[in-house]
Amino acid sequence: MQTKPFRIGTRGSPLALAQAHETRDRLMAAHALPQEMFEIVVMSTAGDRITDRALSEIGGKGLFTQELEDKLLSGDLDFAVHSSKDMPTRLPEGLVLSAYLPREDVRDAFIGRMAQTLMELPRGAVIGSSSLRRQALIRSLRPDIEVITYRGLVDTRLRKLAEGQVDATLLAYAGLRRLNKAEVVTELLDPERFPPAPAQGAICIESRTDNSVVNDLLAAINDAETFAAVTCERAFLGALDGSCRTPIAGLARAEGGHITFSGMILSPDGKQSHRVSGEGPAGKAEAIGAMAGERVRAAAGTAFFENWS
């Protein structure tokens, strides 16, 4: 029986800490364990420290995970809690995404200072976003407004918006809900028209493949439908070599042992896009996502991807 606390690795942002606390609380309830059996270990990652440039310019998604993964592999952490959409599609050897918490709302939230909705923004308005997917989707819907790169913690972005540095911004509704800030939202964007990032709204837990004690502990809080849906979306991303350099959207829904998937790739300027869909047994989620990625890659042709790097 485990006698020392399980060490939970997390980034130090308010959202990351909220996710780590939710994970700890679910484990306490599932196993009737006291809070003293869990130690939350806060770590700074390169992605947290470098906030003045787009992620695509400084190395992509791994910037939010490498320090935590190094500590997992060394045994200094028992498991780590992440926003699933921050995870690279390829994990270091010896690590696995062992559990997903029940998924939150997947939609993007529009927060406007001078207009309540994206389509009501006046011509020439400035909207800030750090996501190439959001930037491309905005440009496809509103080519008449200016889109700028806009990074930082949620509170930082909201402060910059209030100060007038931009006229609007977009954030994941799931994160705002977890931070109890849903009231700032002026419009929730339809996921059919404005599809989310693969794995958006899902919290994942990463652990060592050889740590059976921890993996058994985590199995009790794994949500099977979220696991299947995000596995499908990550496979789609992986088939496209997806990273922070690529505007890719994808959403899978698993219910009753069946999974449906829709995906989209865009050119960074939003002028070109390709959609794809797939469905089948939830047990084949990974294959369904990967096949959708291969199909949309073939449909788009090699020229479509030339300006993605």
Residues marked active site are found at 86
| H-run or E-run covering 214 | helix 212-219
Instruction: Please check whether residue 147 is in contact with residue 127, taking contact to mean a CB–CB distance below 8 angstroms.
Output: yes
d(CA 84, CA 86): 5
Whole-angstrom Cα distance, residue 25 to residue 23? 5
Segment (H or E) for 82: strand 79-83
Secondary structure, 3-state, 91-111: CCCCEEEEEECCCCCCCEEEE
How many C-beta atoms lie closer than 10 Å to residue 280's C-beta? 15
**Could you count the other beta carbons within 10 Å of the beta carbon of residue 103?**
21
Neighbouring CB atoms inside 10 A of 218's CB total 23
How far is it, in rounded angstroms, from Cα 152 to Cα 156? 6
3-class state of residue 49 by DSSP: helix
Report whether 230 contacts 202 (CB < 8 A). Answer: yes
AA identity, residue 31: H
Strand order in the sheet with 258-266: 248-255, 258-266, 273-281
* CA 57 – CA 130 distance, rounded (Å): 11
User: HSE on the CB side for 44, CA within 13 Å?
Assistant: 5
Would you put residue 91 in left (φ > 0), alpha (ψ -120 to 50) or beta?
A: beta
SS3 248: strand
